[in-house]
Structure 1
């Protein structure tokens, strides 16, 4: 299990929880697990989110490995400019 911290704007979609525990060893598996276990987050995931693993924003690699002790944060999509 991996604990995923949620950006404040996502918390209302999961009953106010600040983190959720999901299965997965890669960013893609974690996102799939979130979609399955927390369907209210699915539209937000589909619109695009930013995933931070151990302080690094994972731009597009769904195969990025995630360890059980990794710090994972799910955020609203960050846009550069």
Structure 2
């Protein structure tokens, strides 16, 4: 199981939880489990989200491995420029 911190409005869409546990080993598995557990997250995940994994931000790195002791933060995708 991986503890995932939900940043910003994502927590509100997961029944008000700011942290959830999911059984996942990759970024893609984590997103799939989250949408199964909390369907309200699905539209945000479909638009794009980023994951901070042990301090490094990933986007669309579907097969990025997540270890059970990793620090994971899921956040809405932010554009910069």
TM-score, normalisation: structure 2: 0.93
Q: 2:48 — aligned with what?
A: 48
- Is 1:6 aligned to residue 34 of structure 2? no
Q: Give the aligned CA root-mean-square deviation in angstroms.
A: 0.9
Q: Are the counterparts in 1 of residues 49 and 59 from structure 2 also a CA contact under 8 Å?
A: no
Unaligned runs of 5+ in 2: none
Separation (CA, whole Å) in 2 of partners of 1:34 and 1:14: 9
Divergent runs of 4+, >6 A: none
Aligned to 1:36: 36
CA distance in 2, matches of 1:25, 1:35: 16
Where do 5+ consecutive residues of structure 1 fail to align?
none
Distance across 2 between alignment mates of 1:59 and 1:46: 12
1:64 and 2:58 equivalent?
no
Q: In structure 2, how many angstroms separate the alpha carbons of the residues matched to 1:59 and 1:40?
A: 20
Query: Given the two structures, how large is their TM-score scaled by the length of structure 1?
Result: 0.93
